[in-house]
Amino acid sequence: MPVRERVKGPIRPVDMRPHSAPRRRSVDQCYQRCYHYLMGVIKRSVSLDDYVAEQVEAAADADGVSFSSWLSSAAEHRLLLREGLSGIRDWEADAGQLTTEERAVGEALLDRLLSDQTAKSA
């Protein structure tokens, strides 16, 4: 059943902060609080090197999201990269390997698109 059919009325964020925690009002943070309410979530136990865990904790704090949310976003990003690389391999299997010039054009396009995206988010 789609989420909108299960939810009656407007979707409201679930406030799971301790009462002493400061209020956050950004849309991204509201999304993060609503995430578990609206999305199916599977809890997993993972082991991380101490250094990695410390860096993730710092990055999550800086981004204003939970440790789990930050890890989930990082994993999703990595999966998208894998999917893209797999698509390139499939395409090259059918059409032949990309030439150096084709790769350079692709790299330049990617750089431009990423710089445009960074400029829009700033």
pLDDT tens, position by position, 48-96? 999 999 999 999 999 999 999 999 999 999 999 999 999 989 989 999 9
Task: State residue 61's pLDDT score.
Answer: 95
Task: State residue 24's pLDDT score.
Answer: 47
CB atoms within 10 A of CB 32: 21
CB atoms within 10 A of CB 4: 9
Task: State residue 69's pLDDT score.
Answer: 92
Report in angstroms the alpha-carbon separations of 11 from 2, 30, 41, 100, 114: 14, 11, 18, 50, 32
Tell me the mean pLDDT in the region 2-28.
48
